[in-house]
Amino acid sequence: MHLFLMIGLVAFSILAVLSRDLLKSAISLAVASVFLALVFFRMNAVYAGVFEVSVVAGLITVLFITAIALTRSDGDVTESKRHLLVFPLFFAALAVIDILVMRKLLGRIPAMVGSESGSFGQVLWNQRTFDLVGQIGVIFAGVLAVLALFRQGESKGEHHE
């Protein structure tokens, strides 16, 4: 089951990269996020899974689709047609190297031990307080950047008129 979910994740990621239609790419990315969230749920990482589904599969897909709808292109971007030939070769080489390296590592990694106590909320509030402050700062910076970019576009549009 785990392997099936992982293969689904990689397959939809490949589809997102290779698909010619941007809308199909965005939706494939959302499906890949759902597969990743299912992997998280299987590994008991419930909070990360919920965030992955709601934010990455939901919000980012909405952002992508809005951006695709707002942009207009005078003709599709011509991607080179060599991808259909080059990508399978690249992917096969990557997979072979990956399998060889992982086989060498199999059984050689010492057992990782660690333990933690407390709930998710305690860990987040007590140990990673600085991260939370940083997250709030990043969100504000992102909002201000988007506002600044759109305001600039509007004022230039008025100037031209």
Partner 1 sequence: MNNLWILNMGFVALLIGIGIYCLLTMKNTVKLLIGIEIIAKGVTLALISSGYARNSLMLAQALTITVIVVDVAVIATALAIIISINRHTKSLDVRKLTRLKG
Q: Binders of partner 1 among 65-124, rule CB under 8 A?
A: 66-68, 70-74, 77-80, 83, 86-87, 90-91, 94-95, 98-99, 101-102, 105-107, 109, 111-116, 118-120, 123-124
| Residue 113 half-sphere exposure toward CB, CA atoms < 13 A | 1
* 131 counts as binding partner 1 under rule CB under 8 A: yes
Number of residues in contact with partner 1 under rule CB under 8 A? 85
State the Cα angle at 10 between 4 and 15, rounded to 5°: 120
Looking at 52-82, list the stretches that DSSP marks H as alpha helix, in order from N- to C-terminal side.
Answer: 61-70
Element (H or E) spanning 24, and its range? helix 22-42
Q: Nearer to partner 1 by C-beta: 32 or 161?
A: 32
Give the span between the Cα atoms of 74 and 127, in whole angstroms: 51
Q: Which of 88, 92, 150, 155 binds partner 1 (CB under 8 A)?
A: 150
In the block, tokens 């959302």 appear at 30
Interface with partner 1 in residues 7-26 (CB under 8 A): 9-10, 13-14, 16-17, 22, 25-26
Give the span between the Cα atoms of 30 and 21, in whole angstroms: 15
Interface with partner 1 in residues 47-66 (CB under 8 A): 47-48, 51-52, 55-56, 59-60, 63-64, 66
